[in-house]
Structure formats: C-alpha cells, structure tokens
Amino acid sequence: MLSKEMESALNDQLNKEMFSAYLYLSMAAYFEDKNLPGMASWMRLQSDEEYLHATKFYDFIVKARGRVKLKGIDEPKFEWDSPRQAFEEAFAHEQFITKSINEIADLAVKNNDHATNTFLQWFVDEQLEEEATVENIVESFKLIADQPAGLFMLDRELAQRNSSSSE
C-alpha cells in the first residue's frame, strides 16, 4: 500500500503528465495554424504518448491500492513566437518532467518503497530518451536558422514519426 506522501506525489505526477498531453496538443494546434503539418503530427503523437504516461500512473496507483485523485489541468500556452521557440519550450518542459520523476524516485528510495521505485525506473529511462529527442530537434532548428527551406525539410522529417516510434 502506498504511503499518503507517495500517493500524493504520484497523483501530482499524473496531473503533470495530463498537462503535458494538453500542452503538446496545444502545440500541435499552433503548428496546424502555421501550416506545418509534420510538426503538428509529431506533437499530436507526443500528446498521445503523454496521455499514456498519465494512464500508467493511474493504473499503478490503483494497483498499489492507492486512491487516484484527479485535479484540474491548467490551461496551456497556445501561442509561440516561432516553431523553434515551441520546441525549446517542449525541451524545457521535458527537463521539468525529468526533475519531477527523479524527485519521486528519490522519495521512493528514501521510504524503501521498492515497488514504486521499480515502476518509476521505466520513466527515468523514458525521460532520458524524451529529452534527447526534443533536444536534437532544437539543435536542428539552430542549424537551419531562419531558412524557409530548412524549416520545410524539418517539417517533412518530423512528419515521419509514427505511433509505433512514439512510445
């Protein structure tokens, strides 16, 4: 059974994962509006992946005989100065999520909660991958600078992501 402290931390993380899904869906809408369908598709898949992460937390809390307590989801930002800025903010958000996951893992270790620690290891690994992927996209934006042809090519490249490569 989960301690109240751990249950609260896991519920908070579930909310953060739901917000992540909402944020990336908002970014997808931004890219749709900018006629960047590849980036929009990439963000839609990212949103779906974050929703799956939230459901993993939901399922674990239930399995560990905790109580899921859903909270309101904050309104995400919906406008960015550029596609590059949107991806830079996505990278910063992934770093925020990584820090949050690590803090919960630290709490699990501190409390000798081996089941939660084991559960969280998948997320620790996943966050390493998430950060690297988004950071690589940000680096691609830096290489293309403000060249429209480069933006077009990056949009086409990001369109290649499919649902099987998103988790």
pLDDT of residue 162: 83
pLDDT of residue 10: 98
CA atoms of 104 and 120, how far apart (whole Å): 8
pLDDT of residue 166: 46
CA atoms of 86 and 97, how far apart (whole Å): 16
DSSP state for residue 93 in the 8-state scheme: H
Residue 165 has pLDDT above 60, yes or no: no
Of 19, 20, 33, 134, the residue nearest 85 (C-alpha): 134
Q: What is the largest CA-CA distance in the chain?
A: 55
Q: Which residues contact 80 (CB under 8 A, 6 or more apart)?
A: 27, 30, 86, 89
Q: Which residues contact 82 (CB under 8 A, 6 or more apart)?
A: none
Compute the residue count for the chain.
167
pLDDT of residue 45: 98
Residue 167 has pLDDT above 80, yes or no: no
- What percentage of the chain carries pLDDT values higher than 90? 94
Residue 55 has pLDDT above 70, yes or no: yes
CA atoms of 3 and 66, how far apart (whole Å): 8
Q: Which two tokens stand for residue 83?
A: 């596609």
Question: What CATH number did the domain enclosing 90 receive?
Answer: 1.20.1260.10
When pLDDT is averaged across residues 8-18 and rounded to a whole number, the result is: 98
Write down the pTM of the prediction.
Answer: 0.94
For the stretch 58-81, pLDDT in tens is: 999 999 999 999 999 999 999 999
Count of domains in the chain? 1
3-state secondary structure of 143: helix
Q: How many CA atoms lie within 13 A of 7 on its CB side?
A: 13
When pLDDT is averaged across residues 12-35 and rounded to a whole number, the result is: 98
Domain containing residue 53? 4-70+78-165
The sign of the torsion formed by the CA atoms of 8, 10, 12, 15 equals: negative
For the stretch 125-155, pLDDT in tens is: 999 999 999 999 999 999 999 899 999 999 9
